[in-house]
């Protein structure tokens, strides 16, 4: 398992320079090109100006004796700025990155089986401001259910609030920070009502 994670990390690091800007080839303007690659296929779509705007690489892989499809999808704007990169295994998103139009990272998602295998199941999500400053981080189950500890940061990237959610997604406690030190802690009942002192 660790060997697979190391290989995936190496692949992701190798792909980063490719995401800086998409390639451009005026001869391929407006076309979609599919070709066979080692263990699968690659499909690329080009904008009218010849800039690569979409790519998907699909391969058949075996995990624990089961045959699965591994896919990496990348998308760029017409000017070559990255929009998204996602990696799937058996139809499940394992990691993903979204960008703002200004090129700054907007959101990073990592499946907990990679991020914290012994932690709460779900997807670890980090969200950033359009200036690239971390704004929040925590685990989600599905798109909307917060679970575990979620941290929220101010515009400068300093911890402003920490909220703990139960496995049912209900807020259990919250801490507000003032200049990095905990200022106030509030605890909640399972129905979301505050516990009084």
| Nearest by Cα to 89 from 66, 119, 118 | 66
Statement to judge: residues 81 and 45 lie in one domain: yes
* pLDDT band at residue 32 using 50, 70 and 90 as cut-offs: very high
Statement to judge: residues 160 and 135 lie in one domain: yes
Is 99 part of any domain? no
> What is the predicted pLDDT for the residue at 185?
76
Statement to judge: residues 127 and 195 lie in one domain: yes
Whether the full predicted model's pTM is greater than 0.85, yes or no, is no
> What is the predicted pLDDT for the residue at 101?
93
Neighbours of 124 (CB within 10 A): 20
> What is the predicted pLDDT for the residue at 179?
67
CA atoms within 13 A on the CB side of 129: 11
Of 11-15, 149-153, 192-196, minimum mean pLDDT range: 11-15
* pLDDT band at residue 188 using 50, 70 and 90 as cut-offs: confident
Statement to judge: residues 114 and 166 lie in one domain: yes
| Nearest by Cα to 54 from 82, 95, 17, 96 | 82
Statement to judge: residues 113 and 172 lie in one domain: yes
Statement to judge: residues 141 and 71 lie in one domain: no
Is 95 part of any domain? no
**What residues make up the domain containing 159?**
104-197
Last residue of a domain, one of 87, 116, 141: 87
- pLDDT > 70 in the chain, percent: 85
Is 26 part of any domain? yes
> What is the predicted pLDDT for the residue at 10?
42
Average pLDDT (42-51) is: 96
Statement to judge: residues 116 and 59 lie in one domain: no
- pLDDT > 90 in the chain, percent: 74
Statement to judge: residues 126 and 68 lie in one domain: no
Q: How does pLDDT run across 99-152, given as a tens digit for each residue?
A: 999 999 999 999 999 999 999 999 999 999 999 999 999 999 998 999 999 999
Statement to judge: residues 55 and 112 lie in one domain: no
Last residue of a domain, one of 54, 87, 120: 87
Average pLDDT (95-100) is: 97
d(CA 124, CA 188) in angstroms, rounded, equals 23
pLDDT at 17 over 70: no
> What is the predicted pLDDT for the residue at 160?
94
* pLDDT band at residue 38 using 50, 70 and 90 as cut-offs: very high
Is 94 part of any domain? no
- Looking at residue 194, which CATH number applies to its domain? 3.90.930.1
Domain count, the chain: 2
Is 98 part of any domain? no
Statement to judge: residues 113 and 184 lie in one domain: yes
> What is the predicted pLDDT for the residue at 193?
74
Report CA torsion sign: 126, 129, 132, 133.
negative
pLDDT at 12 over 60: no
Statement to judge: residues 109 and 197 lie in one domain: yes
Is 182 part of any domain? yes
Is 54 part of any domain? yes
Statement to judge: residues 10 and 50 lie in one domain: yes
Last residue of a domain, one of 87, 120, 136: 87
């Amino acid at each position: 398992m660790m060997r697979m994670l190391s290989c995936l990390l190496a692949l992701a690091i190798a792909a980063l320079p490719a995401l800086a800007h998409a390639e451009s080839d005026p001869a391929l303007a407006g076309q979609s090109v599919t070709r066979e690659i080692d263990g699968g296929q690659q499909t690329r779509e080009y904008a009218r100006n010849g800039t690569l705007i979409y790519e998907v690489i699909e391969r058949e892989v075996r995990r624990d004796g089961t045959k699965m499809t591994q896919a990496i999808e990348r998308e760029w704007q017409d000017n070559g700025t990255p929009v998204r990169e996602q990696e799937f295994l058996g139809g499940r998103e394992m990691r993903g990155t979204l960008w703002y139009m200004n090129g700054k990272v907007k959101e990073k998602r990592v499946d907990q089986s990679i991020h914290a295998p012994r932690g709460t199941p779900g997807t670890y999500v980090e969200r950033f401001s359009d200036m690239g400053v971390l704004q929040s981080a925590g685990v989600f189950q599905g798109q909307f259910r917060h679970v575990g500890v979620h941290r929220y940061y101010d515009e400068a990237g300093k911890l402003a609030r920490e909220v703990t959610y139960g496995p049912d997604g209900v807020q259990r406690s919250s801490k507000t920070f003032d200049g990095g030190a905990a200022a106030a802690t509030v605890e909640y009942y399972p129905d979301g009502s505050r516990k009084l002192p």
